[in-house]
Amino acid sequence: MTAQQSLQIYEILNRYFKNDVDAKQLTQQIEIAIEKKVEESKIELATKKDLLELKVDLADRINKSKTETIIWIVAIGIVQFLMAILAKKYL
């Protein structure tokens, strides 16, 4: 929270409470609560390193899947070819 925002909150609370001490205390408590929430949210954010590791992992998985798909397509093609030869021979 910026100093200007804190000052605006303080002024509003001061008008409401008509008491400097209460307005200052409540403003400080609001600032503490906001800072705590910001710190808690920083824990959940991913860093550039995390994103890079994820990107590398996804690229590896995609390449592996691509290779496996090609192998399956070739294997199925070979099986179909052999089935066609056997079907002509025995039918």
Looking up tokens 């000052």, which residue turns up? 7
Give the pLDDT score at 48. 92
pTM above 0.85, yes or no: no
Q: Which residues contact 23 (CB under 8 A, 6 or more apart)?
A: 10, 13, 14, 16, 17
Give the pLDDT score at 64. 97
Average confidence (pLDDT) per 10 residues, the chain, 91 residues? 85 85 89 89 83 96 97 98 94 82
Give the pLDDT score at 17. 82
Is residue 1 classed as helix, strand or coil in its secondary structure?
A: coil
Rounded distance between C-alpha atoms, residue 22 and residue 15, angstroms: 11
Residue in 44, 36, 35 with CA at minimum distance from that of residue 2: 35
Give the pLDDT score at 15. 87
